[in-house]
Amino acid sequence: MTKTQIVFVVLIVVVLAIVGVSYLLQRSGGVQIAKPTTLSVRIVCALPVEPFVREAATQFNAEKHTLEGNPIEVSIVPMDGLVAMNRWERDEMDPIPTVWIPDSRYLVELVNATFKEKLGRDIFLTGGEYRTRPIATSLFSWGIWESRDAVLRAQYGEDITWQAIHDAAAAKGGWAELGGEPEWGYFKLVVPNPRKNVGGLLAMMAAAGEYYQKTRIEVADVTNPEFQQWMKELMGAVTDFSSLGSYSVENLALFGYSMGDGGQLLESDLLTNMEGIRTRWVEPIVIRYPQYITWFDFPYTIWMGDETSAEEKNAALVFEEYLLSPEVQKLALAQGLRPANTEVSISEPDSPFVRYQAQGATAVVPRSTRMYSPDRDVLLAMLRWFDLNVYAQ
C-alpha cells in the first residue's frame, strides 16, 4: 500500500470515528443540538389601524423574518384604546402583550402613570431604543352627506362647526326649517359610542373646546350646567348610541341616511369607506375639517415588564422597523392613514387624499387648533356625564 493510500485510509477512519462519537453523545444526551425558538410578538391594536397592522403582520409572517436565527411570529388582537386602558389599570390584560398600539399617546401616558405608582418605574418608555413611536396618524373630521352639507353651509356659513350642528339639531322644524327637504326629517348626528370607541369621547372634547374657545378642558368646564345643557341638546341628535358601537363609518355606509346625516369621524375611516358609500348610496360623503382638531398618533408601545422576554422585545423592534419602512407605510396610506415615515408622500397619484380631493380630502390640513388630550379626571367626568345624561336614556 502506498503512502498516499495509507493517509487516505487514516482520514476515513478518523471521520468515521468522529461521526460515531457524535452519534453516541447525542443518544446519551451529552450534546444537545439547539432548535430555533419561535419569538412571539403579540400586539393589542387600536381598531382604526388594525386592518393596516394586520395586513403588515400577515406579509411579515409570510416573509419568514428571524432574529439571531429564531423565527418571529406576529399576532394581532384588535381592541379599542379606552377598553385596553381599563384592562391595563384593572390588571385584566391577560396575557400581557408584547406591544400595545392605542389610538393616542395620552392613553399610554395615563397607563404608565398608574403602573409607575404601583411599581416605582416606567413600563412604557419615552426615550431610547424601546421608546414609544407613532406608526401613522389620523384626525377627526366632519363627514356629511353632500346634500346635507350644502344646506348647512348655506344656512350657517362655509365652515361646519359644532355650534352649527347644535343649532341644526335643535331646529324644531327639522331640515325643512333649515332649507332642506322635508322628507329628511330632523338632523341626525353620528358620533362613535364613547363607551366603545375612544373617538366618541374625544369628539365630545372637541365640541367642548369649540364651546369654550380653548384647547384644554377642565373638570369645571364639564360640570358647568350651561355647557351640560348645550351638550345634551347636541348629543340628543344621535339616533341610537347603542347601535353605533365601535364602527360608526361602517354603519353609515351600510344603513345610509337612516343612520345619520353627518358627524365628526376619523378621517381614515371616511377615506376607506368613500367608494363603498358612493356606490351603495349614489350620493357621496364630503369631508370638512373643524377648527378644533383631535389628532390620533397610534403609538407603537413595547411593554417593558418581565412578562415578556428580552428576545421578544427585540423581535418587536424588528416588526416596528418593518412597519415604518417606506413600502409598508404605503399600505397605511392606501387605508387613509397619514404615514409616519416622511419618505412616503401623501400626495402620490394613487393616494386617497388625491383621489377624494373633490369630496374635501386634503393632504395639508387647513389652519386649525389642536386640542390637548384630557387628563384622567376630565376624561372620567365626561364619561360620567355621558352615562347619566345620554347613554342611560
Residue 383 in domain: yes
**Claim to verify: residue 291 and residue 175 sit in the same structural domain:** yes
Q: How many helices (H) and strands (E) does the chain have?
A: 17, 13
Cα separation, 87 vs 298, whole angstroms: 18
**Claim to verify: residue 181 and residue 198 sit in the same structural domain:** yes
**Claim to verify: residue 239 and residue 387 sit in the same structural domain:** yes
**Claim to verify: residue 269 and residue 307 sit in the same structural domain:** no
Q: How high is the pLDDT of residue 13?
A: 47
The tally of domains found in the chain comes to 2
Output the tens digit of pLDDT for each of the chain's 393 residues.
565 555 444 455 444 555 454 555 455 554 455 578 999 999 999 999 999 999 999 999 999 999 999 999 999 999 999 899 999 999 999 999 999 999 999 999 999 999 999 999 999 999 999 999 999 999 999 999 999 999 999 999 989 999 999 999 999 999 999 999 999 999 999 988 888 888 888 899 999 999 999 999 999 999 999 999 999 999 989 877 666 555 678 888 888 898 899 999 999 999 999 999 989 998 999 999 998 999 999 999 999 999 999 999 999 999 999 999 999 999 999 999 999 999 999 998 889 999 999 999 999 987 778 899 889 999 999 999 999 988 665
Residue 168 in domain: yes
250: CATH = 3.40.190.10
Q: Measured in whole angstroms, how far is the alpha carbon of residue 207 from the centre of its chain?
A: 21
State which amino acid sits at residue 154.
A
Domain carrying residue 376: 138-295+362-391
Q: How high is the pLDDT of residue 238?
A: 87
Residue 16 in domain: no
Q: How high is the pLDDT of residue 3?
A: 53
Residue 338 in domain: no
Q: How high is the pLDDT of residue 12?
A: 57
Sign for the pseudo-dihedral over CA of 363, 367, 371, 372: positive
- Residue 111 makes CB contacts below 8 A (sequence gap 6+) with 85, 88, 89, 124
**Claim to verify: residue 279 and residue 317 sit in the same structural domain:** no
**Claim to verify: residue 217 and residue 155 sit in the same structural domain:** yes
Burial 74-110 (b: 16+ CB within 10 A, else e): bebebbbbbbbbeebbeeebeebbbbbbbbbbbbbbb
Measured CA distances, 340 to 82, 142, 155, 172, 283 (Å): 23, 23, 38, 45, 32
Cα separation, 60 vs 205, whole angstroms: 37
Are 82 and 198 in contact by the 8 Å Cβ rule? The answer is yes
Conformational region of residue 292, where left means phi above 0, alpha means psi within -120 to 50, and beta covers everything else: beta
**Claim to verify: residue 59 and residue 114 sit in the same structural domain:** yes
Q: How high is the pLDDT of residue 112?
A: 95
**Claim to verify: residue 266 and residue 130 sit in the same structural domain:** no
**Claim to verify: residue 118 and residue 254 sit in the same structural domain:** no
Are 204 and 360 in contact by the 8 Å Cβ rule? The answer is no
**Claim to verify: residue 259 and residue 311 sit in the same structural domain:** no
Mapped onto helix, strand or coil, the DSSP state of residue 1 is: coil
Mapped onto helix, strand or coil, the DSSP state of residue 178 is: helix
Q: How high is the pLDDT of residue 124?
A: 96
**Claim to verify: residue 270 and residue 320 sit in the same structural domain:** no
Which residues are paired to 72 by β-bridges? 39
Residue 370 in domain: yes
Q: How high is the pLDDT of residue 5?
A: 52
Q: How high is the pLDDT of residue 137?
A: 97
**Claim to verify: residue 202 and residue 234 sit in the same structural domain:** yes
